[in-house]
Each structure stands twice: as structure tokens, then as C-alpha cells.
């Protein structure tokens, strides 16, 4: 089986590992699967050939023999369902791990994305200075709840799972704002994820593409 | 097996079916599973007993013998994986249906939620009038892409699936803004979902709880 994913030709984050291909690379590394990467320019992402793979014109996509997927959560789930130890074998534990995958992308990530949008895409708007504290408070509300649930556990539900992979990846996007470090339980949780050898290989692989050239 | 879900004691939408328990009710109806509903007040949602079920203090939750789930996408997936025809049997088609579930909650819903937040929770803020067109344009960008992909198909990928159930549910939240009706392909798609007997039973069931009392 040959696996090919797509990634930014030049990631807007300059190699900090926040682009979503890093999540897929991480899952592939955890599962021990080799993969090829096809780099896509911003222009090519909006052209018909890429839109046929990804209707929203984004990265990453995932191709294996006869199958095309987009949407990071779905790709990570597909990898986890067939390979490695990213989902527990027990049916109930598996359902709970999937719950954390959806919680990461549908409950925790949206306010973080809204903050990123406010800071970056609306950074020059006249309302942003006054509005930002409101957006930040919505993020903090979620972080308090997540921190309370995690408590002193290493991972969200027993062993490390695809749910943790997604949650750590989502929380990483919060670090540049400084808010992640306001929640030591979560900052430590994220560091625990980053310390995994599979994450480090994934990070290095995206950095090799995106590191600033001297 | 006894299934119990939670729902708002009084939904903020006054019975328009936009609260997330409707998505779970719909999946249960498609699968032909009976279920009980426990209604939860806004106050009780933030208390320890409910937070033990749902760490973010929201509805719906899902309980069956020995299993507790939260997060609508995960609950719908769990139902679909074990019952009814909400996910195709073919492995590739199943992975694509799951892709649409994640696309609904992670790519299409976030800009719609941002619009809802701007209109409702920030409706009284001084910046909202000037900012709203920007937020609406982000939603329209996604709608154009989704409409182009759907084209003249009935459903997103072959037969109706849990991916359509989630996507239609997400798009329904856009209707009050008027933007859904700017995209006839999508408005028709949503109407197709609403016409399903299972959706109608789910809608009636939530309406019975939330209909304004004369």
C-alpha cells in the first residue's frame, strides 16, 4: 500500500508544526506507516485537480490504493482504525476515544480558531483590540473545563489514543497566544504529546519542508 | 439495551430543532432505536453530576449499558456503527462517509457558529454591524465550495449516510440568517434531509418538549 498525503509547499506558520498535515504525519508515525508527501502551492490548492481531492481547497488530503480522503480528523481515524495502537480494542473505550477526537475538533478547536482569526485575519480591524478579550474568555472557559477533566491523568481516557493526538494538536494552536501556559495541566499534557518520538519525527519532517532558508 | 440521552429542559431556539439533541434523535430514529430523554436545566448542566457525563457542560449526552458518551458527532458515529444503514458496509465508502461527518463539524460548522455568535452573543456590541459582512463572507466561501461538490447529487457520497445527517444538521443552523437560501443546491439538500420520516419524528419529539406554551 502506498500512502500519499498533501501539505503546504510553504506553510504559513513557517515550520512551527501547526499546519494540519502535522496531525496526519503524527498518526502515520505512531502507526509506523511510511508515506509520501506531495507539496501544494496556495494557487494549486484552489484549482480543479486539488479540489477533486479536497472540496474545500485545503490540505491535507490522504490517498491510498483507490481511496481518497480529506479532513484531518477523518484521516487520523482511518489510520487509527486499521493500524497501530491509536484506538483501544475494547468497544466502549474505542467509542470514548472517538468522542475525544470529535471534542477536539468540534468543541475545543472552534474557539481557538476564532482567536487565531481575530488575531491574524482581523488583526488590522478597528474592533479587534476591544473584541479580543471576549474571544479569549471563550477560549479560557473551554480550557478550564478541559483542565478539570484531565486532572492529574496523563491522557484523556487511559492510554494515549487518537483522541489525545487530536486534542494535543488542537491545543498547540493556542500556544502562540500565551493562553495555553495559563493552564499548567494542559501545557504539561501538550508537552507530553510533543515528547513522543512519533510526534518528533512528524515535526521534523514538516520542518524539513518549511524551515526558513538562511 | 436502554439508551438515554440528555436535552435542554428549554431549548434556546424555542423548538426549531437546532439544538444538538435533534441530531442524536435523528440518528436514533434512522436506526430504529427507542430511547429515553432526560431533560437538563441550564443550571444543572454546569453541576458536577452532569459534568461527570459531559466535561464541557453541554447537551446531548448518550448513555447505554455501561457506556457514557458526549459530543454529537461521536454519538451519531457510535449509533451508525452498530445500527441501521447510516454507514455503508464497504470500507472505502465508510471512510468517505466519516470524512463528511468530520467535514460537517470541523470545516462547515465553525464559520456558521461564528456567525451565530456574531449575530446573537455579540449582537449588541459596537463592532458587530461593521464586522458581520466579513463573517458572512467566510460562511459563503464554504457554501460555494460545498454547493459545487454536491452538484446535482442527492447526497454527498452515494446513499444517505451519517455524513449527510451531520451536514444537513449543521446547515440548518444557517437558515435563520437567510444565507442558506442563497444557495439553492444546498437549500434543496437540506429540505431533502428534513423530508426523511426519521428526521420528522426527531423534530416532532424535540418540539414536544420545546414548543412555546400558549
Sequence-separated (6 or more) residues with CB below 8 Å from residue B172: B17, B18, B180, B190, B194
pLDDT at B195 over 70: yes
| CA distances to B16, B36, B38, B49, B54 from B6, in Å | 17, 8, 5, 12, 10
Mean pLDDT of all residues in B47-56:
97
Q: Are strands B61-64 and B4-8 parallel, antiparallel or unpaired?
A: antiparallel
Examine the domain organization and report whether A112 and A74 are in the same domain. no
Examine the domain organization and report whether B79 and B96 are in the same domain. no
ipTM confidence score: 0.96
Mean pLDDT of all residues in A192-198:
98
Examine the domain organization and report whether A97 and A185 are in the same domain. yes
Helix (H, G, I), strand (E, B) or coil at A86: coil
Measured between beta carbons, the chain A residues lying within 8 angstroms of B107 are: 56, 58, 71
Examine the domain organization and report whether B95 and B184 are in the same domain. yes
Cell numbers for B36: 429515553
pLDDT tens string B5-26: 999 999 988 899 999 999 999 9
Examine the domain organization and report whether B202 and B183 are in the same domain. no
Which of B51, B99, B127 is opposite residue A71, by nearest beta carbon? B99
CA distance A80 to chain B (A): 12
CATH of the domain at A186: 1.20.1050.10
What pLDDT score was predicted for residue A211?
83
pLDDT tens string A110-136: 999 999 999 999 999 999 999 999 999
Examine the domain organization and report whether A73 and A96 are in the same domain. no
User: Can you tell me the distance from the alpha carbon of A29 to that of B69, in angstroms, rounded to the nearest whole number?
Assistant: 28
User: Can you tell me the distance from the alpha carbon of B154 to that of B149, in angstroms, rounded to the nearest whole number?
Assistant: 11
| Dihedral pair phi/psi, residue B39, rounded to 5° | -85, 140
Examine the domain organization and report whether A80 and A111 are in the same domain. no
Residue from A47, A79, A99 whose CB has the most chain B CBs within 10 Å, to mutate: A99
Examine the domain organization and report whether A177 and A158 are in the same domain. yes
Examine the domain organization and report whether A116 and A145 are in the same domain. yes
User: Can you tell me the distance from the alpha carbon of A122 to that of B132, in angstroms, rounded to the nearest whole number?
Assistant: 12
- Is the Cβ pair A99, B67 closer than 8 Å? no
Examine the domain organization and report whether A35 and A126 are in the same domain. no
CA distance A68 to chain B (A): 8
DSSP A150: H
Average pLDDT along chain A: 96
pLDDT at B198 over 70: yes
What pLDDT score was predicted for residue B213?
66
Nearest chain B residue to A147 by CA: give it.
Answer: B55
CA distance B68 to chain A (A): 8
Examine the domain organization and report whether A121 and A158 are in the same domain. yes
What pLDDT score was predicted for residue B64?
96
What pLDDT score was predicted for residue B11?
92
CA distance A202 to chain B (A): 22
CATH of the domain at B23: 3.40.30.10
pLDDT tens string A29-66: 999 999 999 999 999 999 999 999 999 999 999 999 98
pLDDT at A214 over 70: no
Q: Residue A37 is part of which domain span?
A: 4-85+198-210
Examine the domain organization and report whether A95 and A76 are in the same domain. no
Q: Residue B211: which pLDDT band, with cuts at 50, 70 and 90?
A: confident
- Is the Cβ pair A99, B71 closer than 8 Å? yes
Number of separate domains in chain B: 2
Amino acid at each position: 500500500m502506498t500512502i500519499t498525503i498533501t501539505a503546504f509547499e510553504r506553510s504559513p506558520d513557517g515550520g512551527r508544526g501547526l499546519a494540519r498535515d502535522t496531525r496526519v504525519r503524527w498518526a502515520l508515525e505512531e502507526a509506523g506507516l511510511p508515506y509520501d508527501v506531495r507539496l501544494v502551492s496556495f494557487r494549486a490548492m484552489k484549482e480543479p485537480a486539488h479540489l477533486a481531492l479536497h472540496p474545500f481547497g485545503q490540505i491535507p488530503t490522504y490517498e491510498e490504493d483507490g481511496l481518497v480522503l480529506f479532513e484531518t480528523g477523518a484521516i487520523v481515524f482511518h489510520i487509527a482504525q486499521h493500524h497501530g495502537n491509536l484506538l483501544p480494542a475494547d468497544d466502549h473505550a474505542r467509542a470514548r476515544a472517538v468522542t475525544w477526537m470529535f471534542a477536539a475538533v468540534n468543541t475545543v478547536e472552534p474557539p481557538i480558531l476564532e482567536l487565531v482569526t481575530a488575531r491574524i485575519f482581523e488583526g488590522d480591524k478597528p474592533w479587534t483590540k476591544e473584541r479580543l478579550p471576549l474571544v479569549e474568555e471563550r477560549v479560557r472557559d473551554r480550557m478550564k473545563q478541559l483542565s478539570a477533566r484531565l486532572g492529574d491523568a496523563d491522557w484523556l481516557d487511559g492510554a494515549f489514543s487518537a483522541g489525545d493526538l487530536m486534542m494535543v494538536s488542537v491545543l498547540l494552536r493556542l500556544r502562540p497566544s500565551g493562553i495555553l501556559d495559563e493552564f499548567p495541566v494542559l501545557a504539561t499534557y501538550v508537552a507530553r504529546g510533543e515528547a513522543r518520538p512519533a510526534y518528533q519525527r512528524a515535526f521534523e519532517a514538516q520542518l524539513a519542508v518549511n524551515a526558513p532558508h538562511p
